[in-house]
Chain A
Amino acid sequence: MAKVIETRDLAVSFGGAGEAGIVFRHLNIAVEQGEFVTLVGVSGAGKSTLLRVIADLIPPHEGSVTVETPPDPTRRPIAMVFQAALLMPWRTVADNITLGLEGIDVPDAVRAERVARTLDLVGLSEYGDRWPYQLSGGQRQRIGIARALAVEPDILLMDEPFGALDAITRTALQDELLRIWRETGKSILFVTHDIEEAVYLGDRVLLLGDKPARIVNEYRVDIDRAQRRESAVFLRMVETVRGGLSDAMAIDNGAG
């Protein structure tokens, strides 16, 4: 399988001299074509920062990010889904979805067609003319996903997209995301602090340790997705990752 994202010895620091400002260092991760990778770690471990470096919103201090996608002027290689849906409140739902299409070479007809298709994909076909304030939290996040899908990215970066939702909505959106992933074949890098969510969604779970952040462990989830919510093997896997995370934190505390 071809790698769509690869970071090499990535380092990011914010201000602070020496060790104090370092968010992460020597960070090497890769995501393969069509793969669903989840990244778990304690809050403040630099998960969001990593996504922002990959999305080219923050420059790395050292190392490099390679994004391998076929060039296409009507698409953007990467799109991001944020923790809070972060819709522009002054745009209608449809106009929020076209945000990423403005400035790339997409004719109006195609634009309208993509809005219709992505709204359909997230199950909100009738909502194009609404204002964001008229939507529930779950609906807003669906539109955040539709906005990302509209640019037809090869890679979806998702920054704790369901973290602020209630449990029922979250479960529904997780399954919806898996369906969309299967239908569209995107590569997904999904950040979460919820271990069950990480194991439920991912082909592979990366465990990010703290201060400075680095990948401390990696788990391949070879469990049929239909078996994942309740089965013993799924729950064991969750426990394994949980154990790995507390080990990582213990090491950090011991060292710090």
Chain B
Amino acid sequence: MKPITRYALSAAGLAGFLLLWEGLGRSGLIETHLLPPPSTIPPALMSEIREGFWQVMVWSSLRHYTIGFVLGSVLGVTLGVAVALFPRVEASQAWLARVLRPIPPLAWIPFAIIWFGISETAAAFIISIGIFWINYFTAMAAVQAVDKDLIEVARAFGHRSFPALLGKVILPGAAPGILSGLRAGLGQGWMTVVAAELFGIQGIGQRMIEASGLLATDIVILYMFSIALLYGVSDYIFVRIQDRVLAWQR
């Protein structure tokens, strides 16, 4: 398939979906307050911006998200790498990880509130949990998969200390895996950001709950699309960076 055909079909799919949705609303098959048609989103956006909500909510969520992403990623990658490198660390975490891993991020909400109150920290904490586990396991697997022969090559050419091997072979070799974990975390983070704000921390989630209480469904949909947009932009930027960092891959 030619790229141009691909783009055309992708655009047509999205346009078709929006048209069908608009049609359902206008034809009266579905009441517009149950499912506001897409044409109501731009006016909703204008009014949210005019009243100063949209900027504030997006900015707050972006802050929670960024702190949670950085925290979860740094801890997850660091510990994942350590587990893969040191058998003793690996052994000591084996059962612990099995116990903690299945607990969904949202199940930590009660403790987040008890420990941090209704605060930005609480939201960032919840967001970081899911991101942490993704990075923990992908970084571990990525380091374990590094070609042992390349470590021998580095040793043969005089790089025998642990920091030298880490910097010259292990981390660059694990980089593709670690980056794919970071990217997966980028998506996971947006999934929890709304839920983390539902209990009253200022942000997109909080605004959505308010709006749904007032049956302002057009506002709810506006924020749903805002999240999709934020995710799309952050993923796009990430992939551009990733492609540059991994230019050495075919």
Contact = CB atoms under 8 A, between A and B. Distances in A.
Interface in B36-77: none
Contact of A57 (B155, B164, B169, B249): B155
A86 B152 CA distance: 10
Interface string B183-215: 000000000000000000000000000000000
Nearest to B173: A90
B105 interface: no
A99 interface: yes
B248 A89 contact: yes
Contact of B159 (A91, A102, A147): A102
A86 B168 CA distance: 14
Interface in A74-110: 76, 79-80, 82, 84, 86, 88-92, 99-100, 102-104
Contacts of B109: none
A79 B164 CA distance: 18
B244 interface: no
A190 to B, nearest CB: 16
Contacts of B162: none
B94 interface: no
B157 A151 contact: yes
B68 to A, nearest CB: 29
A22 interface: no
Given A103-B164, A131-B248, A133-B248, A88 B150 contact: yes
Contacts of B157: 76, 79, 99-100, 147, 151
Interface residues of A, number: 23
B149 A82 contact: yes
Nearest to B171: A90
Nearest to B159: A103
A45 to B, nearest CB: 20
Contacts of B147: 86
A88 B173 CA distance: 8
Among B153, B155, B159, B247, max chain A CB count under 10 A is at B153
A249 interface: no
Contacts of B169: 88
A79 B155 CA distance: 11
A178 interface: no
B149 A84 contact: yes
Interface string B233-250: 000000000000001111
A80 B156 contact: yes
A180 interface: no
Given A57-B152, A82-B149, A90 B158 contact: no
Given A84-B149, A131-B248, A133-B248, A90 B172 contact: yes
A90 B173 CA distance: 8
B250 A90 contact: no
Which 5 pairs across A and B sit closest by C-beta, in order of nearness? Answer: A100-B157, A90-B172, A90-B248, A80-B156, A133-B250
Interface of B: 147, 149-150, 152-159, 164, 168-169, 172-173, 175, 247-250
30 contacts: A57-B155, A57-B156, A76-B158, A79-B156, A79-B157, A80-B156, A82-B156, A84-B149, A86-B147, A86-B149, A86-B150, A88-B153, A88-B169, A89-B249, A90-B173, A90-B248, A92-B248, A99-B153, A99-B154, A99-B159, A100-B157, A100-B158, A102-B158, A102-B159, A103-B158, A103-B164, A104-B158, A131-B248, A132-B248, A151-B157
Given A79-B156, A90-B175, A103-B164, 14 more contacts: A55-B156, A76-B158, A82-B152, A84-B149, A86-B147, A86-B150, A86-B153, A88-B153, A88-B168, A100-B157, A103-B159, A133-B250, A151-B157, A151-B158
